[in-house]
């Protein structure tokens, strides 16, 4: 019998009622990755039945996926894509729980195979899920995740559920002035160690994120005008892409396009450029966002947490979101994070020449409710 933690039941209610806003009679797909998340999947399923929705649950195991990716073919992916697309088109709400025990499980899959999988299968299905369902994705606090955070699992689980069940409605209210300001802004300038960047966000919508698409949450994102990005940015947060680690990524832009890309080693730099060469849109930016979850302070190579770090910003190379579309199209969407708090080197962000955030703290009075002290953070 699967044991369900009371905190999992609390999170299940938040996911169904706040994040995806499931309604009676709707089809709710629950996708669990790895067996560690069985208890949370059961809690969501039971809550979904209580709400009189139709829960459809499925599991995938990274070790099996690795074997599949090594051996699959274009013909197989074409057939599976048609099946998965027809299934996803019937889904009203999607909840994805990622509980892999090894984030590097796919690191030895040949790049050619990963590119084929992403272009023929993963990207088309992801686009349907993102654009046609009410969705939310999250991680599960297993031992592997606790290890990446450098914490004992019991302490990490306490942190995880505290972060994931934050008062997101209050955060959503506090984000409204930032959304309005970003939608009035033309030029964004970012300064910091190894960073001198300038771009426009004029005419592109801004979306505040308060526990709907992601759990945990705490960001406002938009898309830069595609060809407007100029200058250099250095990311001080380690990253993982398709099971491979990257450190100290540095990008140089000209007319919106990455013209130089470096990472922490020769091998990482070579691999980084190979990823960015997969299609024309991979060297352009599809997303720009400010992160401000008060309880998330340090990176752990988990983008759902790292992109929400208090005092951070992130930019995603590749595909733009439909809600903040800047015209960029790619099979890639890779979020890269820079923390600008004093303990990470500091930095400033300007909107139309006005200082908006310094060393990770919002300066204008209307935005100060997004600073950690306003949330009573224990971090």
- In tens, the pLDDT along 254-300 reads 999 999 999 999 999 999 999 999 999 999 999 999 999 999 999 98
6-164 adopts what CATH topology? Thermophilic metalloprotease-like (3.40.1830)
Ramachandran assignment for 308, one of left (phi > 0), alpha (psi -120 to 50 degrees), beta (any other): alpha
Q: Per residue in 217-252, pLDDT tens?
A: 999 999 999 999 999 999 999 999 988 899 999 999
Rounded Cα distance, 301 and 271, in Å:
17
92 with 55: CB under 8 angstroms? no
Question: What is the domain partition of the chain in residue ranges?
Answer: 6-164, 168-371
The Cα-based distances of 26 to 83, 134, 135, 157 in angstroms read 20, 11, 13, 31
For 103-125, what is the mean pLDDT? 90
Q: Per residue in 4-52, pLDDT tens?
A: 889 999 999 999 999 999 999 999 999 999 989 999 999 999 999 999 9
Residue 3 burial by Cβ neighbours in a 10 Å radius (0-12, 13-18, 19+): exposed
Which DSSP symbol is given to 320?
P
- pLDDT-based confidence at 374, cuts 50/70/90? confident
Mean of all residue pLDDT scores within the chain: 94
For 187-191, what is the mean pLDDT? 98
**pLDDT of residue 339 exceeding 60:** yes
Comparing 123 with 350, the larger pLDDT belongs to 350
For 134-151, what is the mean pLDDT? 90
Can you give the pLDDT at residue 375?
66
**pLDDT of residue 98 exceeding 80:** yes
**pLDDT of residue 370 exceeding 80:** yes
**pLDDT of residue 379 exceeding 60:** no
């Amino acid at each position: 019998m699967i044991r369900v933690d009371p905190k999992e039941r609390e999170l299940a209610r938040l996911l169904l009622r706040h994040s995806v806003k499931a309604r009676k009679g709707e089809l709710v797909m629950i996708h669990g990755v790895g067996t560690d998340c069985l208890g949370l999947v059961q809690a969501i399923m039971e809550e979904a039945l209580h709400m009189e929705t139709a829960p459809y649950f499925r599991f995938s195991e990274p070790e099996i996926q690795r074997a599949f990716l090594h051996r699959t073919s274009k013909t197989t992916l074409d057939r599976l894509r048609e099946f998965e697309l027809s299934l996803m088109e019937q889904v009203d709400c999607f909840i994805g729980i990622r509980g892999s025990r090894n984030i590097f499980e796919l690191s030895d899959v040949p790049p050619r195979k990963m590119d084929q999988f992403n272009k023929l299968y993963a990207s088309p299905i992801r686009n349907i899920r993102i654009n046609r369902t009410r969705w939310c994705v999250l991680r599960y606090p297993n031992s592997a995740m606790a290890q990446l955070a450098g914490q004992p699992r019991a302490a990490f689980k306490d942190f995880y559920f505290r972060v994931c069940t934050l008062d997101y409605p209050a955060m959503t209210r506090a984000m409204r002035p930032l959304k309005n300001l970003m939608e009035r802004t033309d030029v964004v300038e970012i300064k910091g160690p190894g960073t001198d960047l300038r771009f426009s966000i004029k005419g592109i919508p801004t979306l505040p994120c308060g526990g709907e698409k992601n759990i945990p949450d705490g960001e406002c994102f938009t898309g830069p005008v595609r060809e407007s990005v100029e200058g250099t940015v250095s990311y001080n947060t380690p990253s993982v892409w398709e099971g491979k680690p990257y450190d100290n990524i540095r990008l140089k832009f000209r007319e919106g396009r990455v013209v130089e890309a470096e990472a922490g080693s020769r091998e990482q730099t070579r691999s980084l450029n190979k990823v960015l060469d997969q299609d024309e849109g991979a060297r352009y930016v599809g997303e720009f966002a400010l992160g401000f979850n008060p309880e998330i302070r340090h990176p752990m190579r988990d983008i759902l947490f790292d992109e929400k770090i208090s005092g951070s910003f992130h930019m995603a190379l590749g595909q733009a979101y439909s809600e903040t579309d800047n015209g960029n199209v790619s099979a890639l969407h890779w979020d890269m994070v820079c923390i600008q708090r004093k303990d990470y080197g500091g930095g400033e962000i300007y909107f139309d020449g006005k200082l908006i955030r310094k060393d990770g703290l919002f300066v204008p009075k209307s935005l100060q409710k997004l600073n950690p002290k306003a949330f009573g953070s224990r971090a």
